[in-house]
Structure 1
Amino acid sequence: MFTGIVEERGEIVARDDLEAAARFSIRGPLVTSDARYGDSIAVNGVCLTVTALDGDVFTVDVMEESLRRSSLDGLAPGAPVNLERAMAAGGRFGGHVVQGHVDGTGTILAISPSDNWTVVRIALPDDLARYVVEKGSITVDGVSLTVSALGDADPSWFEVSLIPTTLSETVLGRARVGDIVNLEVDVIAKYVERLTAKGGRA
């Protein structure tokens, strides 16, 4: 489990395309400081398993399903990525419950900067819109954020307000209109929907 509090901005140093998969080598001095083979690290919000370590570089294999559902397939060497280690038992819970299971992607529609924060509007896939509520939590490229506004236009959209720290410490600070971002909705909303559909039976 993760919290959506990005620990560092890493960098893709190598990519190998395999049959129905891809292998990435990623530099992250902080997340590799205590990493071991088999550990989980979220890369732009996608939970991936460490398959090799070499100094401050770790390697992960990404299956076709994850490539299809996320923006990872568009990454190339030199690309910055948000990194977060799995939450340790007893650790500080700073964001919200993040599984690292990306539900889909959104497209940045607008970026509106101001002196103290920047508002980002993101197109929301129809199949995810029902899980997003104003003042609720959503994960964007692995960053735990609060939904500040919602729109039902075609396409549906939501907005988040980013403080300077988020802009400077995560890849969202380099985002541009038209960029694709990974989205994970609040898992509690999905469980509630499932239970309701089954009449309260698990």
Structure 2
Amino acid sequence: MNMAISSTPTSFSKSLKPSLPKARVFNLLKTPPNSHLRYTLNLKPPPPRLLFRIGNPKSKSQFKSHHSPIRSLFTGIVEEIGKVKQLGSDDDGGFTMTIHAKTVLEDVNLGDSISINGTCLTVTHFDTQLFEFTVGLSPETLRKTSLIELQMGSLVNLERALKPSTRMGGHFVQGHVDGTGEIVSTEPEGDSLWVKVKTTPELLKYIVPKGFIAVDGTSLTVVKVFDEEECFNFMLVAYTQQNVVIPLKKVGQKVNLEVDILGKYVERLLNNGVVNAIK
């Protein structure tokens, strides 16, 4: 499969620009002074071709939004850390990303779903000789996830979709990112690492102590919720630190969050009066 990639930028944030709401894309979280995103405010607008195509409703369906119907499930147990090899825009007005990996390519097929930092994306091309695969991303996916911060060379968590015969090691993760959070602190304790994340009240209401949450696609247990600070924390043991990308991120950087779907189902049932009807 030939990929037409035009003027590959150093990050998606340099391609996804004027027609998108700045407040939602760049100002959702505070950016640390040493982050590459400090350059986004002074970026030159992308070519008119790209501007007019971003909202094109005729974009091919291979560019999968995080709001797609449930087609795959994941466990939140990261299989390997991949490396972003190439990223940019294509002739269809979408965005592509090529990742170097090995484990997830062992039985890969076109159209397979792979979780990248917790975002379920579709394989549109792969090369087992070069150990790489390519996925398409919609502008909406970049707006709603932390993938917009990726650059060439960035490391990402990877997990293949769950098979019926696979041992369930984490919890049911759809790969449909609910929103992002910001790392506000990291603190070592012995060989473990405490991580504190701030998010929106809309997401925090679904997060409970000892409950499940997927952070950048990693299945984790919430330790404590700080309602007044709009934060929650979790602890990474030594093994997990060595096999996921979260410890590599700095304070102020984004992480993708997917809350436990059970809480959303319960809320909907209560709001629709189903429980009272049963009583």
TM superposition score category, shorter chain reference: over 0.9
Contact 1:113 1:119 in 2 (8 A): yes
- Correspondences of 1:96-111 after superposition (within 5 Å): 96-111=171-186
Identical residues among aligned pairs (%):
44
Partner of 1:11: 83
The question of 1:185 aligning with 2:185 is answered no
Distance in 1, matches of 2:114 and 2:247, equals: 21
Give per-residue Cα distances to partners, 1:61-115, cap 9 Å, x unaligned.
Answer: 0111111110111111100000000011121000001000000000000001121
Partner of 1:160: 234
Amino acid at match of 1:45: G
Alignment match of 1:117 (pick from 169, 175, 192): 192
CA deviation after TM superposition for structure 1 residue 193, in Å: 0.7
Greater fraction strand: 1
Alignment match of 1:91 (pick from 145, 166, 174): 166
Classify 1:149/1:14 alpha carbon distance in 2 versus 1 (closer, same or farther; 3 Å): same
Partner of 1:53: 126
Alignment match of 1:140 (pick from 198, 211, 215): 215
Contact 1:71 1:180 in 2 (8 A): yes
Structural RMSD (CA):
1.2
TM-score calculated relative to the size of structure 1 = 0.96
SS at match of 1:31: helix
Unmatched segments (≥5 aa) in structure 2: 1-72
Distance in 2, matches of 1:107 and 1:38, equals: 31
Distance in 2, matches of 1:93 and 1:76, equals: 32
Unmatched segments (≥5 aa) in structure 1: none
CA deviation after TM superposition for structure 1 residue 28, in Å: 1.1
Partner of 1:21: 94
Distance in 1, matches of 2:125 and 2:228, equals: 45
Higher RCO, 1 or 2 (CA under 8 Å, sep at least 6)? 1
CA deviation after TM superposition for structure 1 residue 20, in Å: 5.5
Distance in 2, matches of 1:57 and 1:115, equals: 37
